[in-house]
Amino acid sequence: MNKKSLAAAGIAAAVALTTVGCSTGGSGGGDDDTFDVAYIARAQVDSFAAWLANEMQAEAENYEDINLEVFDGQANDEVENSLIENAIANQFDAIIVQANNGEAQFPYIQQAIDAGIVVITTNPRVEGLNGGSSVDANPFDQGAVVAELAVEQVPDGANVVVLNGPGGNFHSTERRRAWEETFFAQRPDVTIVAEDIANWNKDEALTLMEDWSLAHGEIDAIISMNDNMAAGALEAVSDDPAFEDVLAYGVDGTPEATLLIQEGTMTASTLQNAQELAELNMQAVHDLLTGAEETVNVDIGNPLITSENVEEYITLYEEAGLIG
């Protein structure tokens, strides 16, 4: 493993959830002076989800009246749904849900709202709920920002592959729609030689790309709905000189992605700032629990990251301790 690979591996370890159900001091149904909040994270193996969970824990420490417990949904709808049910049964004051599949989690989230629990959906927002609040980014804009750049960069007549997140996930479907409307509609010369769901997962994307590189030979660009899958696809062809110049686009602006952009392996990403999401989530849940707000629905921004400005974001991660 080379030095850059070691750095990427170290980042993955740094952002991984080290515990499940880790509490800042309480469990459901706490005393009158504190609020017990369950954060149900999508998956420990998803680098962005792990980063967000860590930021949630760090931000919760700024609120003396909030006890936060983090639970790992394991990228499994049944697990995540059970965690929501358990949080209701254990009488948490609030539940923040990072859905794996919004359609699958919808009835369970609605059940929590109907039980009178403060509920926030985040990364992604779950649409159509009767009540509840949300803290998110605009996934269509996240995809469109990168797709606009790709319109200019992807060569004429290119062959591309597309990696999608879970089928019922709002961020996955909206980012894919953005690519369709912003890129593919403008570039009819481009051929999608393969497309599949890799569930935000690096290993699944690596396996798909190994198969695609053998089946299709020339691939000019990797279009991924998140950085984790893009990184997996790039790893699959890292030792193949035929893919030395392959373009790769993602979303999230994870620490690993910024290093890949810095070294010229990855082309571009859109930042989804987990620190900002965590800050807004904790502020929102506190405002809702204390009665300062009745509902909250807010979005963060989505700046583009390329080789021209990547050092700015590497500095952000160095200051946060996510890049050593």
Alpha helices in the chain (DSSP H): 3-15, 47-60, 77-89, 102-114, 139-153, 170-179, 202-216, 227-236, 255-262, 274-290, 310-320
The three-state (H, E, C) secondary structure of 145-199, written as one string: HHHHHHHHHCCCCCEEEEEECCCCCHHHHHHHHHHHHHHHCCCCCCEEEEEEECC
> What is the Cα 140 distance to its own chain's centre?
14
Q: Which residue has the higher pLDDT, 160 or 2?
A: 160
Confidence bin at 250 (pLDDT 50/70/90)? very high
Which option is the CATH number for 16-123+274-293: 3.40.50.2300, 3.60.21.10, 3.40.50.300, 2.60.120.380?
A: 3.40.50.2300
291: left (phi over 0), alpha (psi -120 to 50) or beta: left
CB 60 within 8 A of CB 26: no
Per-residue pLDDT at 32 exceeds 80: no
Q: In the predicted model, what is the mean pLDDT of residues 287-292?
A: 98
The model's pLDDT over 46-101, given as tens digits with 9 standing for 90+, comes to 888 988 999 999 999 999 999 999 999 999 999 999 999 999 999 999 999 999 99
Whole-number pLDDT of residue 114: 98
Q: Are both 16-123+274-293 and 139-270 of the same fold?
A: yes
Q: In the predicted model, what is the mean pLDDT of residues 248-261?
A: 96
Q: Provide CB contacts within 8 A for 136, sequence distance 6+.
A: 121, 122, 123, 124, 125, 277, 298, 299, 300
Per-residue pLDDT at 31 exceeds 80: no
Per-residue pLDDT at 321 exceeds 60: yes
> Percent of the chain having pLDDT more than 90?
84
Whole-number pLDDT of residue 322: 84
Q: In the predicted model, what is the mean pLDDT of residues 165-176?
A: 93
CB 32 within 8 A of CB 19: no
Strands 94-97 and 35-41: parallel
Whole-number pLDDT of residue 27: 47
106-111-114-119 Cα dihedral, nearest 10 degrees? -60
Confidence bin at 168 (pLDDT 50/70/90)? confident
- Distance CA(313)–CA(309), nearest Å, equals 7
Q: Angle between the 255-262 and 227-236 helix axes, to the nearest 10 degrees?
A: 50
Alpha helices in 180-253 (DSSP H): 202-216, 227-236
CB 175 within 8 A of CB 150: no
Task: Indicate whether this model's pTM tops 0.75.
Answer: yes
Strands 22-23 and 66-72: antiparallel
Topology of the domain covering 139-270: Rossmann fold (3.40.50)
Query: Which residue type, as a one-letter code, is found at position 71?
Result: F
Place of tokens 């803290």: 135
- Distance CA(120)–CA(136), nearest Å, equals 10
Per-residue pLDDT at 191 exceeds 70: yes
Per-residue pLDDT at 306 exceeds 60: yes
Domain ranges of the chain: 16-123+274-293, 139-270
Per-residue pLDDT at 23 exceeds 90: no
What's the chain's average pLDDT? 90
